[in-house]
Chains A and B, each alone.
Chain A
Amino acid sequence: MKNLNYIIREAAEQDLEQIMELENACFGNDAWDADTMHFEVVAHHTHYLAAFDGPEETPKLIGFAGLSKIPGNDQADIQTIAVSEAARGKGVGKALMLELLKEARRLHTAEMFLEVRADNPAAQNLYLNLGFEHIDTRKRYYQPDDVDAWVMRLQFAKTSIGREPVVLGIETSCDETGVGIVRGNTLLANIISSSMDEHARFGGVVPEIAARAHLEALKPTLDQALAKANLSLKDIDAIAVTNGPGLGGALMVGIGAAKALSVAIEKPIYAVNHLVGHVGVDILERGELQTPTVALLVSGGHTSLLLVRDLLNDVELLGETIDDAAGEAFDKVARVLRLKYPGGPEIDKAAVGGDPKAIRFPRGLSLPKDMEKHRYDFSFSGLKTAVARWVEVAETKDEPINVADIAASFREAVADVLVTKAVNACLDHKVPRLLLGGGVVANARLRELAQERCDAHGIELRIPALSLCTDNGAMIAALGAQLMMAGRAPSSLHFGSDSTLPVTTVQSH
């Protein structure tokens, strides 16, 4: 597998020479001898990975790691992990660990153990972040340095209840009340109740109206989801709820509901990130999320470009809108053109037969000077003003206004800048896939242009079903299930809403 600038693959006999070189450089006195290493790498009960950097013809080993699991025993051990000094601090160790954890899950491991030097906090933190806990200390384990060893354990089975968990997800971050139910990676129900019609006369989402609507919609939406999944609340193993980012008052309705349900049915609760939910939803269609992937999330509230190396451990915000969200721009331009709310589908309709090249509307943050500071950021405020001005000038001159041309040209400008930046992100980071999410994905031209440009660059494009792209509870349930199956401890009952929750916080405690 290709991981950004280096490659991780299974280690083989021909790698032994380089492995021993790195082993000796990293561990000195403690290093294994060549025979031991040979046995470890080729043995049937072990799984060794090697990371390489440099040109394809002469790749240089920069790290390796291995696990051991005796068949029939549900425990596994991390045998060793080493990263060359020059390659440290670049996430190579974490990437190796994540691959080993994947392998351990594939082998149905219940518990994974490792030892780490008590004087190596960097490594300890890496393991803690991956869900390991410090369970024991072996005194003076490392000789001749006379250093203690921490024994650390990751329990896959503790919360994964020995089968695929049934998780109920609640989403109330904007104007959609969503309740979804999943079993592991499988979608069982996805019911959405929208207050969109109530916002129509205001031309945009009114937070107080959205929050009032959530309160009304909660129970009927939950009832429908349970009926659709043919389950009762007794069958639910955990609750997941969006706690940000989003509208504070709206989020709090879902949080209050989810916490009370968790206490009532005596099941754990997971507070999860809305945007990461949009990324993870692909699992429900494909059974897994292929990583690394770039994700472009576009809705009425968000326009975010993410680099996802691992859904639960490594999500990076590359850029986002610095003013209006793309969906907001559609709504505002629809108003300029005297079209209805929500603007996306109305502009799509109006654009039929229009010439997308009729008017060259500006592409925000795309000038060379912007590309330094805002390479992956978006701006749609200027575009909206440009459309308004264009209409105004035409009106002043008493020229006929060709709504189809304006709609098509505006839509082209939005789609162009979104896709250009997303594809750039893929190329810059050598990531061969792009995932779209958010309600604006319904836009026909955006889908078309994304497909065209991805095909041209050999990038795999993933667009989940629209019911999973718009805000929904199923994606929240799916992310909760992933956390649970990865052995993550549930959230406490103390968490609150966070309107600006960063994507790096996948789960709040």
Chain B
Amino acid sequence: MSNFTLCIDTSAGTTVAVLQGDEVRSEIHFDENMKHAERIGDAIAQAIAGAEISPARITNVVVGRGPAPFTGLRIGIAAAVMFSEGVGAKLWGVTSLEAIARAALVERGDASASDKPLLVTADARRSEVYWALYSGLTKSGAPILLEGPGVLKPAALEELLAGKEFDRTQIKINAADLGRVFEAQLLDGTASTDVGALYLREADAVAPKDLREFGKRVSG
């Protein structure tokens, strides 16, 4: 198979992989949850060099849409958009939590071992978490979404899921898993070209204070 896929995710750290079909040809991970702008160029360049191909061989670009804290997430999406434009590749979006779900569900083994849903969470900062609940994998290996994704305080999430049985996972996101989810979704016919960032929160912005009031306070 000669189709190369470049996978990019900046929902947590900066992780980039090149897949050839199911086979991971290279992967680069910068774990820190910052410095995405500094890392993204090197990560893509090194992943492509590691796969021993020229950039033009990439035919699909897959990017993690989050949910994630905004600043870092956008850098990966911006990079994916421009890379696909640069080499004329198709551009696809995958929910980042699905990559974690797939890795955890594959690790958990075949469905007979446990049929409990899987809760995937990610740090949303401001003492909140992003979360989604998955029931299992399709035959192709794509996670099946049960509930979410959403953003909540941990206590509120516990309350929401109280009484339900589910497994948890500590697995970290890996761009190679993102690519595997995409390959499975492609087979299932569910792959999406939507690369819009999943912010799940409104932009922080406050309506302006009345400057005449402000003037009064100063003079008073």
Contacts and interface: CB of A to CB of B under 8 A. Distances in A.
Given A201-B207, A255-B75, A256-B78, A392 B216 contact: yes
A391 to B, nearest CB: 6
B48 interface: yes
A495 B38 CA distance: 5
Interface in A319-340: 332, 335-336
Given A202-B205, A256-B37, A494-B38, A261 B83 contact: yes
Nearest to B205: A206
Given A222-B85, A335-B210, 10 more contacts: A202-B207, A208-B203, A252-B36, A335-B208, A335-B211, A384-B211, A393-B219, A493-B42, A494-B42, A496-B38
Given A253-B78, A263-B83, A494-B42, A206 B37 contact: no
A295 B81 CA distance: 36
Interface stretch (A4-12, A68-76, A143-151, A211-219): A211-219
A391 B79 contact: no
Contacts of B216: 392
A391 B82 contact: no
A495 B40 CA distance: 10
Interface in B49-82: 54-55, 58, 70-71, 74-82
Nearest to A236: B86
A388 B212 contact: yes
23 contacts: A203-B208, A206-B204, A209-B203, A211-B70, A211-B71, A215-B77, A222-B85, A249-B70, A252-B75, A256-B78, A256-B79, A260-B41, A260-B78, A260-B86, A262-B41, A264-B83, A265-B86, A266-B54, A385-B215, A389-B215, A389-B219, A392-B215, A496-B38
Interface string A338-350: 0000000000000
A219 B75 CA distance: 14
A137 to B, nearest CB: 33
Contact of A259 (B79, B204, B215): B79
B86 A252 contact: no
A207 to B, nearest CB: 9
A497 interface: yes
A385 B44 CA distance: 50
Contacts of B36: 252, 256
The 3 closest A-B pairs by CB, nearest first: A264-B86, A388-B215, A259-B41
Contacts, number: 150
A332 B209 CA distance: 10
Interface string A259-278: 11111111001000000000
A257 interface: yes
A218 B196 CA distance: 12
Nearest to B55: A264
A204 interface: yes
A263 B45 contact: yes
Given A211-B74, A260-B78, A233 B85 contact: yes
Nearest to A338: B212
Nearest to A267: B86
B153 interface: no
B35 A215 contact: no
B37 A255 contact: yes
Interface in B180-220: 197, 199, 203-208, 210-212, 214-216, 218-219
A251 B75 CA distance: 10
A219 B81 contact: yes
Given A204-B208, A218-B78, A212 B203 contact: yes
A233 B82 CA distance: 11
B87 interface: yes
B4 to A, nearest CB: 13
Given A252-B37, A388-B214, A493-B45, A257 B208 contact: no
A222 B82 CA distance: 9
Interface string B75-107: 111111111111100000000000000000000
Interface string A284-316: 000000000000000000000000000000000
B82 A493 contact: no
Q: Which of B45, B85, B214 has the largest number of chain A CB atoms within 10 A?
A: B85
Given A335-B211, A389-B218, A260 B82 contact: yes
B195 to A, nearest CB: 9
Contact of B74 (A209, A252, A260, A266): A252
B213 to A, nearest CB: 9
Contacts of B86: 233, 260-261, 263-265
Given A202-B205, A253-B75, A263 B81 contact: no
Nearest to A264: B86
Contacts of A497: 37
A260 B44 contact: yes
B21 to A, nearest CB: 21
A255 B10 CA distance: 14
Nearest to A223: B85
Contacts of B55: 263-266
Interface string A236-263: 0000000000001101111111111111
Nearest to B79: A260
A388 B219 CA distance: 10
A395 B219 CA distance: 13
A495 B207 CA distance: 35
